[in-house]
Amino acid sequence: MIDHLLRSLVELLARARRALQAHSSSPVSSRKMLLAELAAAEKSLAMGALPWPIAVHVGVIEHNFGTTIYVAQESKSLAAQIANFCRDYWSEIEDAEDVGRLDDETTITTYFERHHRDTMTREPITLEPSVNVWASDSLHHLERGRYCVLSTAHITMSTVNLISHWSYWPPSSRPMDIAGSVHGWFVPTGMPESPFAEQLPEDLAALMAFGRDGGFDYVLLDCDGDTADDLKVHNW
Instruction: Answer yes or no: is 140 within a domain.
Output: no
CA distances from 96 to 117, 119, 153, 156 (A): 19, 21, 70, 76
Domain shared by 47 and 61, yes or no = no
- Is residue 132 one of the residues assigned to a domain? no
Same domain, 35 and 60: no
Is 184 within the bounds of a domain?
yes
Nearest Cα neighbor of 220 from 195, 183, 170 is: 183
Say if residues 200 and 2 touch (Cβ distance below 8 Å): no
Residue 164 lies in a domain: yes
**Whether the Cβ atoms of residue 223 and residue 155 lie closer than 8 Å to each other:** no
Burial of 199: CB neighbours in 10 Å, binned 0-12, 13-18, 19+: exposed
pLDDT digits (tens, 9 = 90+) for 112-160: 999 999 999 999 998 876 654 444 444 455 556 678 899 999 999 999 9
Q: How many domains does the chain have?
A: 3
Tell me how far apart the alpha carbons of residues 224 and 157 are, in angstroms, rounded to a whole number.
16
Q: Is residue 136 part of a domain?
A: no
The reply to whether 149 falls in a domain is: yes
Cα gap 6→95, rounded to integer Å: 46
Per-residue pLDDT of the chain (236 residues; tens, 9 = 90+): 555 666 767 777 777 777 776 665 556 666 677 677 777 777 766 666 666 678 899 999 999 889 999 999 999 999 999 999 999 999 999 888 899 899 999 999 999 999 999 999 999 998 876 654 444 444 455 556 678 899 999 999 999 998 888 888 887 777 888 887 778 888 888 887 777 777 788 999 999 988 888 878 889 999 888 999 889 999 87
pLDDT value of position 112: 96
* Domain limit, last residue, from 127, 162, 190: 127
Q: Which of 34, 51, 68 is the last residue of a domain?
A: 51
Last residue of some domain: 36, 51, 66?
Answer: 51
Q: Which domain holds residue 206?
A: 145-236
- My answer on whether 150 and 234 are in the same domain is yes
Same domain, 172 and 235: yes
Q: Are residues 156 and 227 in the same domain?
A: yes
